[in-house]
Amino acid sequence: MYLELGNADKADAMIEELRVAAGGSIPSGPPELTVKLLNGRIALLRGQLDQARRTIAEVLEAHLRLSQKNPAVIMTRLYLADIALRSKQPAEAATLAQRALEEAQGLQRGIRYSSRTGMSYLRLAEARLAQGDVDHARQALTLALEHLNAALGPDHSATQRAIALETRMTLAGLRESAR
């Protein structure tokens, strides 16, 4: 929660509390991967992009070694896409977002709207816009807004991020209304 609110220090303190509660170290396996991912996100929030990339890439590699196809893999790819976007590497961000989208759709299994599918479309829209591919950015943003509004509602931070992108594109004269 503290990460979503942009408070890296409180998130870091919460991890330390968990470590103490667990007897001084986080158990290996999924709990360790979760904490490592949180540490990577904290580094991202603090602007430590190289550290964030290394840490989050290690988490992705661990998930893939375990052959775990789960929502955590999708979110891990999306965090790496965020790092790529902030590092001015939109092609890498687009590749990561596209892969996350494919995985999210694979996990959807007939459910009409998915928050992870919506978040994947959003990262793809951001990456395509950064590449100068306005038409594909528009298409991805339209689908992102559809999924995020339906799955999470208009007040969720992911939906707000999509709305902010839509506003930026509109103000720049790049977008007609997607809604």
- Does residue 179 carry a pLDDT above 50? no
Residue 68 banded pLDDT, cuts 50, 70, 90? low
Element (H or E) spanning 105, and its range? helix 90-108
**Model pLDDT, residue 175:** 46
**Model pLDDT, residue 66:** 82
Residue 123: how many other CB atoms lie within 10 Å: 27
Task: Please check whether residue 56 is in contact with residue 33, taking contact to mean a CB–CB distance below 8 angstroms.
Answer: no
**Model pLDDT, residue 1:** 65
CATH topology for 93-179 is 1.25.40
- The model's pLDDT over 47-58, given as tens digits with 9 standing for 90+, comes to 999 999 999 999
3-7, 137-141, 153-157, 161-165: least confidently modelled range: 3-7
pTM of the predicted protein model: 0.88
For the chain, domain boundaries? 1-68, 93-179
